[in-house]
């Protein structure tokens, strides 16, 4: 898993675009189907969660399954993750605050601590709305490794865990958060703000990706390419129907608090597993483009709304109108994020520390 997988990079880019383009369409008021567009963006985020869990799993799991220094490699893992995610996040946060809330206020600082949606709804005026998923990611990076280290230390007396035990402990982790959602009171029309986008309820979304990685390693029938190809359309349709029922107020408590999250996770993980396997079929000529897309996907997710705002500032006679606004915004977004990657992200990434006892890349 240390080498980049071109298909996963393409999926990462596609997920970012599935979030960005519908948001831009809504922002420019170019569609009357806002509900369907919001469902698309929601599923794009769920795919990001599954991808994160799948890609980070070998790094997190090897910390507790080898004889290498556990605490030193945990420290390295934290530093590498924070060097990857925090600088660009903070840069984007400042840009959002300057554009949308130049006066700032006290709750603005909660974004820098990833507490804006920790166990409660984000502020009513949420000018950095895409940050909710990053808060979930950042807390996951800390919670799952520490949880597995605790299992290794207190249950197995610091002996390395085998793959079966890692699977069991991670599955238990997932079940705890499913249970939390199950016992939470129904939220009605506030379902998104009070449940779907609240950190303490959503860490399992990323852990599902870790379980998928273990299933792929075992060559489980659940991640057989044929099974995935047949089941993916049905899973996508079921998730869509559940979202429609929830947003229309027709869903039961079980559907809104449990079933939709399980099906969203299994669909996203199936898509990630299929992309992982499909890498062997990807033409070599398309791999550089996929790598480029994967590299700028984080920036696409963080900056698409500010770029849309900047497009509206340009005098109308200098840009085409209508749906072409989205095209211009997307092109500007690609250029901006490519430049940001080269001049800002890349110099930070190449200076990240390496793991002790092995090089996991």
- Whole-structure pTM value: 0.93
Give the model's pLDDT for residue 287. Answer: 87
Gap between the Cα atoms of 128 and 335, Å rounded: 22
Gap between the Cα atoms of 228 and 356, Å rounded: 37
Give the model's pLDDT for residue 359. Answer: 44
Give the model's pLDDT for residue 173. Answer: 98
Residue ranges for the chain with pLDDT beneath 70? 1-3, 102-105, 187, 316-319, 321, 358-361
Residue 343 burial (CB count, 10 A): 9
Collapsing DSSP to helix, strand or coil, 223 comes out as helix
Give the model's pLDDT for residue 360. Answer: 45
Residue 79 burial (CB count, 10 A): 12
Written as six digits, the tokens of 3 are 């080498």
- What are the angstrom distances between the C-alpha of 251 and each of 33, 221, 246, 255? 20, 32, 5, 6
Give the model's pLDDT for residue 316. Answer: 66
Give the model's pLDDT for residue 118. Answer: 95
Written as six digits, the tokens of 38 are 């919001």
Written as six digits, the tokens of 306 are 């500010």
What phi, psi does 257 have (nearest 5°)? -100, -20
Which position has the token pair 């500007």? 332
Helix boundaries (H) for the chain: 6-27, 34-65, 70-100, 108-112, 131-155, 163-183, 191, 199-217, 225-247, 253-254, 260-278, 287-313, 324-340, 346-349
Give the model's pLDDT for residue 323. Answer: 80
Give the model's pLDDT for residue 314. Answer: 77
- What are the angstrom distances between the C-alpha of 186 and each of 115, 196, 249, 260, 299? 23, 12, 11, 13, 34
């Amino acid at each position: 898993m240390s080498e980049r997988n071109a298909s996963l990079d393409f999926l990462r880019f596609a997920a970012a675009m599935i979030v960005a383009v519908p948001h831009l369409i809504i922002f420019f008021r170019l569609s009357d189907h806002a509900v369907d567009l919001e469902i698309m963006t929601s599923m794009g985020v769920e795919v990001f969660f599954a991808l994160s869990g799948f890609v980070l799993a070998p790094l997190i799991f090897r910390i507790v399954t080898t004889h290498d220094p556990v605490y030193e490699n945990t420290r390295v893992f934290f530093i590498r993750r924070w060097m990857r995610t925090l600088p660009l996040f903070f840069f984007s946060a400042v840009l959002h605050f300057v554009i949308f809330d130049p006066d700032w206020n006290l709750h603005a600082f909660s974004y820098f601590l990833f507490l804006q949606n920790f166990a409660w709804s984000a502020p009513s005026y949420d000018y950095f709305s895409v940050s909710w998923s990053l808060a979930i990611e950042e807390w996951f990076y800390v919670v799952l490794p520490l949880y597995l280290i605790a299992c290794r230390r207190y249950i197995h007396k610091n002996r390395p865990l085998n793959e079966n035990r890692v699977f069991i402990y991670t599955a238990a982790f997932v079940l705890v958060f499913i249970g939390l959602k199950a016992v939470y009171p129904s939220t009605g029309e506030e379902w998104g703000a009070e449940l779907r986008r609240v950190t303490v309820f959503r860490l399992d979304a990323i852990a599902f990706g870790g379980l998928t990685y273990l299933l792929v390693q075992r060559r489980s029938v659940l991640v057989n390419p044929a099974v995935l190809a047949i089941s993916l359309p049905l899973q996508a349709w079921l998730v869509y129907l559940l979202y429609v029922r929830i947003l229309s107020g027709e869903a039961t408590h079980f559907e809104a608090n449990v079933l939709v999250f399980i099906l969203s996770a299994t669909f996203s993980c199936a898509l990630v597993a299929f992309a992982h396997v499909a890498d062997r079929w990807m033409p070599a000529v398309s791999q550089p483009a996929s790598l480029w897309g994967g590299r700028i996907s984080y920036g696409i997710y963080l900056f698409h709304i500010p770029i849309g705002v900047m497009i509206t500032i340009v005098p109308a006679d200098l840009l085409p109108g209508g749906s072409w606004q989205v095209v211009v915004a997307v092109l500007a977004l690609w250029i901006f994020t490519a430049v940001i990657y080269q001049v800002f992200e890349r110099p930070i990434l190449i200076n990240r520390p390496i793991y002790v006892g092995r090089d996991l890349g």
